[in-house]
Structure 1
């Protein structure tokens, strides 16, 4: 009798213990956690430029070999172009375009695929340069999915969702974006060495934005000049300030017959780099600078092809995972 009483008492204790654990965890996803990474890039339509994105993806896979890394493009226009190209899939795959890029999905569909595959913890890492329009919109999508609540907590699509910060950092006090800028500039030592070797002024072309301040480019230019004082440097942008007119004014005052090394301050050397920056078109940066009597040396390499720069995103993923309590293997 006493033995049966003890067995019942032990069973009641175990049930109570399991109930307390379930309440403590919110009852969500009682199965083992599975982590995945979404690499959110603005994207590119230039096949030769895709390697900048896949290089970042490869660096992340090396750092976290047990975690899948899915690519998504945040630009609706770029995704629509790849969708049309799917009709001639053989042609584009033959040009070396990865299948994941040819059939690239938006952030919502990528989240959906990961849910279907049983992933519970997601880290979204943007490859944007700074927190501007694209990152703001991406954050809105992430916040919306994170906010989903179901009547039974265990049916929530995900347990934890984290959003990493862009290359040059983000707004807010948690991470000092000045430190992120300094880290990024350190990875560009090769650019400054090449400019110095050619006795050239280094001009970077950033994308910029008409709706958000691009003052971060001015801060980055200042930091570059302090870190590499032997090289005259300027960052302009396709949209917003500083524009090409500002670049030309700077060169007019400081070039004096020097060469100008032009390089994209973007993850990929895509359409902006090949056409707006380095083409022979009348309004390209190269043409406009040459009209000032300067020799121009374009370098068509996106920052994503630089392994040291790609490592920035690896570290930002680590930070995001730690802040959210997500395990990375």
Structure 2
């Protein structure tokens, strides 16, 4: 009984200590410390994927290479989530890409016991949900498997992205960040980055999405209210692929020009920016030293100690 109570109190202390650093769902836990003789560790990078070689080289491959440099002692593996991209690459170019579940099963077959997963997704949406479900399916096969957060997760992530992207912006120009978007509740994350841009004084920055909210019309309404006539369109996406080249560079550009705007298109995926790459790598490094605490685990602490964990919720 005493041992159980001590373990609970230690867990409470670990969570509370982590909370002091602004992260509420993690406790300190060294990923490599518990490895024993015969154990093997790997990193699995997961991308949506693209069939466009030009953007893949400067985004996906660039981030992959950075990860290899930062973690030279760990095995590196890669997976794509888009089944359409995987099929097209295989059918048209003979390029074979595993999906996440295939990659995880292969890691197990190859004897890997510890796996760090980092996705290049922008928001915590359906792609991250899919990855988590894949991990749940094979979790029992590994001694430790951890998933890093997408680009935007904590409020600090949003601040970091804004700080990376806005330097050098001209106050007389409107900058429109166009995300992929989603039709479920997670589309609110795009509205959050738009809100934070305005809150930090970037009133000439606007966020819209191809699929979801804010829609084109929502962005246009704000743009008209600004009175600005010069516009820079840019993808708020990891790669500048089909959506960037078709929906943004053609459809959105044409629609804005019909409204009388002078439009410039910047076809640079977020993954090309070394400082954006740094944010992903920081998320990967974070999970090498921290383990995520599930809500039921935290509730168990509340029940046993009667203490509510204090911190930023």
TM range (shorter): 0.7 to 0.9
Normalization by structure 1: what TM-score? 0.74
Superposed, 1:268-307 pairs within 5 Å as 268-279=239-250, 284-307=251-274
Aligned residue-pair number = 258
List per-residue Cα deviations over 1:66-91 (Å, max 9, x = no partner). 123222111122212112123xx4xx
3-state SS of the aligned residue for 1:260?
strand
Q: 1:141 aligns with which of 134, 143, 156?
A: 134
Residues 1:41 and 2:47 are matched in the alignment: yes
Distance in 2 of aligned mates of 1:49 and 1:85: 18
3-state SS of the aligned residue for 1:267?
coil
Residues 1:233 and 2:205 are matched in the alignment: yes
Identify the residue that residue 67 of structure 2 maps to in structure 1.
60
Superposed, 1:170-209 pairs within 5 Å as 177-190=154-167, 193=168, 195-196=169-170, 199-209=172-182
Identify the residue that residue 83 of structure 2 maps to in structure 1.
76
List per-residue Cα deviations over 1:9-60 (Å, max 9, x = no partner). xxxxxxxxxxxxxxxxxxx996332211111111112121102111111121
Identify the residue that residue 143 of structure 2 maps to in structure 1.
159
- Work out whether residues 46 and 118 of structure 2, in 8 Å CA contact, stay in contact via their aligned partners in 1: yes
- Work out whether residues 133 and 212 of structure 1, in 8 Å CA contact, stay in contact via their aligned partners in 2: no
Distance in 2 of aligned mates of 1:160 and 1:59: 23
Distance in 2 of aligned mates of 1:33 and 1:259: 57
Query: Which of the two has higher C-alpha Rg?
Result: 1
Structure 1 residue 63: Cα displacement? 1.3
Distance in 2 of aligned mates of 1:238 and 1:115: 38
Identify the residue that residue 215 of structure 1 maps to in structure 2.
188
Q: 1:260 aligns with which of 216, 224, 231?
A: 231
- Work out whether residues 174 and 231 of structure 2, in 8 Å CA contact, stay in contact via their aligned partners in 1: yes
Structure 1 residue 213: Cα displacement? 3.1
3-state SS of the aligned residue for 1:312?
helix
Distance in 1 of aligned mates of 2:282 and 2:63: 12
Task: Provide closer, same or farther for how the CA distance between residues 142 and 67 of structure 1 changes in structure 2, counting only shifts above 3 A.
Answer: same
Normalization by structure 2: what TM-score? 0.77
Say which structure, 1 or 2, has more relative contact order (CA 8 Å, 6+ apart): 2
List per-residue Cα deviations over 1:87-143 (Å, max 9, x = no partner). xx4xxxxxxxxxxxx311111221122223322100111111111111111111111
Identify the residue that residue 11 of structure 1 maps to in structure 2.
none
3-state SS of the aligned residue for 1:136?
helix
3-state SS of the aligned residue for 1:125?
strand
Residues 1:50 and 2:56 are matched in the alignment: yes
Distance in 2 of aligned mates of 1:38 and 1:81: 22
- Work out whether residues 36 and 68 of structure 1, in 8 Å CA contact, stay in contact via their aligned partners in 2: yes
